Structure 1
Amino acid sequence: MAGADGDDSLYPIAVLIDELRNEDVQLRLNSIKKLSTIALALGVERTRTELLPFLTDTIYDEDEVLLALAEQLGNFTMLVGGPEYVHCLLPPLESLATVEETVVRDKAVESLRKISHEHSPVDLEVHFEPLTLVMPTLRQAAEDKSWRVRYMVADKFSELQKAVGPEITKNDLVPAFQNLLKDCEAEVRAAAANKVKEFCENLPEDSRETIIMTHILPCVKELVSDTNQHVKSALASVIMGLSTILGKDNTIEHLLPLFLAQLKDECPEVRLNIISNLDCVNEVIGIRQLSQSLLPAIVELAEDAKWRVRLAIIEYMPLLAGQLGVEFFDEKLNSLCMAWLVDHVYAIREAATCNLTKLVEKFGAEWAQNTIVPKVLGMANDPNYLHRMTTLFCINALSEACGQEITTKHMLPVVLKMSNDQVANVRFNVAKSLQKIGPVLDSNCLQTEVKPVLEKLAADQDIDVKYFAQEAISGKMPQ
């Protein structure tokens, strides 16, 4: 590392300065990556007195270079003389923790956390804890003019809460959190809303309920009707968890009205987040209370005049069924699922058919045989040919989930009988159904029962019936 002329002891710093001023970013990056080698050449004293001040005061560089520097400094403890002098690393890392690029700040904070464990208790109190004085800085950041700063405070709020302890949380963080929940920027409100459950869980146990009911819940009630759907969605993903914190009485009186409002929200994601977390509330207040409160809202959505609303609740039904269990579903929701099969909108009938398949996958073939299949097959005699075709569509969807025995014994006879339907559309859908369920049936059944019916349909007067019957024979029937 020595030079040919001049003071050899100054050479490493001089070289570093030249390299860090070079226009080539890769050269500057390589220089940062060999900082440990330079520090070893300088020795611990000169590293503390020359290298670190230089790095703190003079580096304004590409994010990639700053990221490498933040990572390097986290491993510098022994290069500055060990734990006794590790506090010397705080100024450059503190500076890096304030740059605009998030990944650099995160890496600097990671390195700060790393070296904090290498401070003695006294040094930690004297040098580390006063970093720009935590609470004044935090208060300032929570009210910063830049929404991105406030967003980061909201996003990291639970970690801050754990770091400062219960007393500071009660006195300082609760008001700060209220302000973030009411922030003028939707991104900040959404980040804060996402932390509501976690923040409440981490409140001091002796004052948790009072703080939530007095300070947090009023803000939450406002967010339920927020103008921004991302805010409402973030809240809906965590609000159900408050029921386990507040208990049965508070949930029934204060939270259920909010759940009902969100379950009727125009934003599908809000409704989904409520439905997908119903088990939290079920544990606290029980299925009976839950059904009395939420079922009317679910039924209202299921019968909404706007078909897209009906479509949305159908798509959530398997999830809802899993949350509430088979007994509740059969008692309260089964009839809705069957009613959708005869909806006047094709998209609803189609979605309802897919819904049945998912329910069978969830509850099993035996449940299907006892609960769903008889109702589906009963539609084969409906005067409306569209409903008769829905029977075929359901059989197509259910055959694989129900298995060979149920398909052969219960569903196939109905399909075969429908081959005599007066409506050509029904007959060619019989041919398509026989092709669809063919792989579920055994070869003997295909030869003795299915093939004769397809051959009859292949001679049908309607050209479409002929076509689909011939397709089924050539594609699926054994030769």
Structure 2
Amino acid sequence: MAGADGDDSLYPIAVLIDELRNEDVQLRLNSIKKLSTIALALGVERTRTELLPFLTDTIYDEDEVLLALAEQLGNFTLLVGGPEHVHCLLDSVRLLAVEACVSIATLLPQPDVEALVMPTLRQAAEDKSWRVRYMVADKFSELQKAVGPEITKADLVPAFQNLLKDCEAEVRAAAANKVKEFCENLPEDSRENIIMSHILSCVKELVTDTNQHVKSALASVIMGLSTILGKDNTIEHLLPLFLAQLKDECPEVRLNIISNLDCVNEVIGIRQLSQSLLPAIVELAEDAKWRVRLAIIDYMPLLAGQLGVEFFDEKLNSLCMAWLVDHVYAIREAATNNLMKLVEKFGADWAQTTIVPKVLAMSNDPNYLHRMTTLFCISALSEPCGQEITCKHMLPVVLTMSNDQVANVRFNVAKTLQKIGPILDSNTLQTEVKPVLEKLVVDQDMDVRYFAQEAMNVLALS
């Protein structure tokens, strides 16, 4: 393809790639005009197998560029090997045909769907282009509803099996993502039989798929099968799959299983999962990637509600407290919000005996960031804990921390007093809070003075 001497037959494909991806529209238009010369240099086989797929992957562009491409490809019949290969110039048309089949099938009576629509769908489900098969997988639930139960049983069940076993990971992932919805939409009288006889074996293979996106897609929906198949089938057939996914090396797979535990809880109760659940949670909670740790924190209130207070206190309480001293601020912030949600779920009495003492103990931590976390927690917990616990246990610690040597801690004392002030009675505000804020208003640090004055104004103590 064109080298330094200007011979287009030597024009390097790398240059074409750069030009077609360039932000300059005119440069892309000029490159497209060279396509026929490049195709001649490549030959019909490489044009079909290399150049056209590259163009399909690369060009999602302005109308002007797409029009120029269409004009070029209109003259490509001989360049791809003649009329018998011209179908390869139509990847986009076949993609659109899948979506069109959905719309058309909803309008036609069943005999016409079978005669006019299904031949196209069958061909699309086995198309040589993985993008066409991907489109079929992505639109499968809509297709299922459009063609009706009889055609679903006869044609779509075997087609769905093939898509779940497709050689392309993208297609398998798209199909895996539709497993629950496909099973839900099966005819009720034959649903269980179809799932157990045709779908479950494919699902079992996907649990150990080599591609993590496929496994993750399946993990996001597989728990929903338990409500469809019932308790006995879930315990016998699905539970081993859930447990395997909880041990998967990919954090996203484990997170997706944990985030959908409520489905299984409704059917068999969470205790069946608890022995394998706990190690998975601990691993995620201590994952080196902070975003993984953050994700598991978000699910903790849900897990706590499902597992119950006794199991939580025994197995997970220490994790929640450990997050409060994480080296990443976003984790400490999320852990604080998590405690608030747990108190809302388990109650103020539980908080007083289980959470508050541990939080207050951090006020003496040598690390000032941990001392500040104590103040953040008090701000978050004061409302769900109520006036008595706040006034009796938390307020004294806040007042003591007004003497902290670190200015950041002192101005957070002022902000905390502003936050918890409305919960306190007027006598406490006047006799305990006001003197401390008056002291902070004349602090040597400008930020401390600012936040102390703001607290006094908001609490009407000026």
Tell me the TM-score normalized by structure 1.
Answer: 0.64
- Give the share of equivalent positions with the same residue, in percent: 84
Instruction: Report whether the alignment pairs 1:472 with 2:458.
Output: no
Which has the greater radius of gyration? 1
Deviates more, 1:446-455 or 1:436-445: 436-445
Change (3 A) 1:138 1:460: closer
Report the equivalent of 1:58.
Answer: none
Aligned equivalents of 1:323, 1:279: Cα separation in 2:
7
Could you list the per-position Cα deviations for residues 255-280 of structure 1 after superposition, in whole angstroms to 9, with x for gaps in the alignment? Answer: 34543454466776644432232122
Report the equivalent of 1:308.
Answer: 291
Change (3 A) 1:133 1:418: closer
Secondary structure at the aligned position of 2:287 is classed as coil
Instruction: Report whether the alignment pairs 1:360 with 2:356.
Output: no
Aligned equivalents of 1:153, 1:323: Cα separation in 2:
37
How much has 1:151 moved relative to structure 2? Answer: 3.9
Contact 2:440 2:449 in 1 (8 A): yes
5 Å-filtered alignment, 1:194-209, equals 194-201=177-184
Report the equivalent of 2:372.
Answer: 389
Aligned equivalents of 1:429, 1:165: Cα separation in 2:
63
Aligned length: 369
Report the equivalent of 1:348.
Answer: 331
Instruction: Report whether the alignment pairs 1:414 with 2:410.
Output: no
Instruction: Report whether the alignment pairs 1:216 with 2:199.
Output: yes
Report the equivalent of 1:75.
Answer: none
Aligned equivalents of 1:307, 1:99: Cα separation in 2:
39
Contact 2:98 2:135 in 1 (8 A): no
Aligned equivalents of 1:426, 1:198: Cα separation in 2:
52
Aligned equivalents of 1:257, 1:335: Cα separation in 2:
28
Contact 2:95 2:131 in 1 (8 A): no
1:183 to 166, 177, 180: 166
Give, as a single letter, the amino acid of the residue that structure 2 aligns with 1:456: K
Report the equivalent of 1:142.
Answer: 125
How much has 1:464 moved relative to structure 2? Answer: 5.0
Change (3 A) 1:441 1:229: farther
How much has 1:338 moved relative to structure 2? Answer: 1.3
Aligned equivalents of 1:183, 1:214: Cα separation in 2:
19
5 Å-filtered alignment, 1:359-378, equals 359-378=342-361
Aligned equivalents of 2:246, 2:255: Cα separation in 1:
8
Aligned equivalents of 1:310, 1:129: Cα separation in 2:
50
Give, as a single letter, the amino acid of the residue that structure 1 aligns with 2:107: S
Change (3 A) 1:264 1:190: same
Instruction: Report whether the alignment pairs 1:432 with 2:415.
Output: yes
Contact 1:260 1:297 in 2 (8 A): no
Aligned equivalents of 1:440, 1:262: Cα separation in 2:
46
Could you list the per-position Cα deviations for residues 72-129 of structure 1 after superposition, in whole angstroms to 9, with x for gaps in the alignment? Answer: xxxxxxxxxxxxxxxxxxxxxxxxx9994777655544432xxx4xxxxxxx76xx36
How much has 1:432 moved relative to structure 2? Answer: 2.6
How much has 1:452 moved relative to structure 2? Answer: 0.3
Change (3 A) 1:292 1:442: same
Instruction: Report whether the alignment pairs 1:111 with 2:94.
Output: no
Tell me the TM-score normalized by structure 2.
Answer: 0.66
Give, as a single letter, the amino acid of the residue that structure 2 aligns with 1:132: L
How much has 1:395 moved relative to structure 2? Answer: 0.7
Aligned equivalents of 1:473, 1:283: Cα separation in 2:
50
Contact 1:365 1:403 in 2 (8 A): yes
Instruction: Report whether the alignment pairs 1:287 with 2:283.
Output: no
Secondary structure at the aligned position of 1:131 is classed as helix
Change (3 A) 1:356 1:153: same
5 Å-filtered alignment, 1:86-125, equals 100=96, 106-112=102-108, 116=109
Contact 2:230 2:267 in 1 (8 A): yes
Change (3 A) 1:382 1:303: same
Contact 2:402 2:440 in 1 (8 A): yes
Report the equivalent of 1:454.
Answer: 437
Instruction: Report whether the alignment pairs 1:132 with 2:128.
Output: no
Change (3 A) 1:303 1:156: closer
Report the equivalent of 1:275.
Answer: 258
Aligned equivalents of 2:348, 2:394: Cα separation in 1:
13
Aligned equivalents of 1:440, 1:400: Cα separation in 2:
7
Aligned Cα RMSD in Å? Answer: 3.7
Change (3 A) 1:458 1:198: closer
How much has 1:133 moved relative to structure 2? Answer: 7.8
Deviates more, 1:356-365 or 1:250-259: 250-259
Aligned equivalents of 2:292, 2:117: Cα separation in 1:
52
2:381 to 398, 412, 419: 398
Give, as a single letter, the amino acid of the residue that structure 2 aligns with 1:111: L
How much has 1:403 moved relative to structure 2? Answer: 3.7
5 Å-filtered alignment, 1:167-178, equals 172-178=155-161
Aligned equivalents of 2:325, 2:95: Cα separation in 1:
61
Change (3 A) 1:346 1:152: closer
Give, as a single letter, the amino acid of the residue that structure 1 aligns with 2:115: L
Change (3 A) 1:174 1:476: same
Give, as a single letter, the amino acid of the residue that structure 2 aligns with 1:440: I
Could you list the per-position Cα deviations for residues 294-352 of structure 1 after superposition, in whole angstroms to 9, with x for gaps in the alignment? Answer: 11111121123443332221122223334434444333322211121123443322221
Change (3 A) 1:258 1:313: same
Secondary structure at the aligned position of 1:111 is classed as coil
Instruction: Report whether the alignment pairs 1:192 with 2:188.
Output: no
Aligned equivalents of 1:420, 1:152: Cα separation in 2:
65
Give, as a single letter, the amino acid of the residue that structure 1 aligns with 2:125: A
Aligned equivalents of 1:347, 1:283: Cα separation in 2:
32
How much has 1:392 moved relative to structure 2? Answer: 0.9
Change (3 A) 1:440 1:196: same
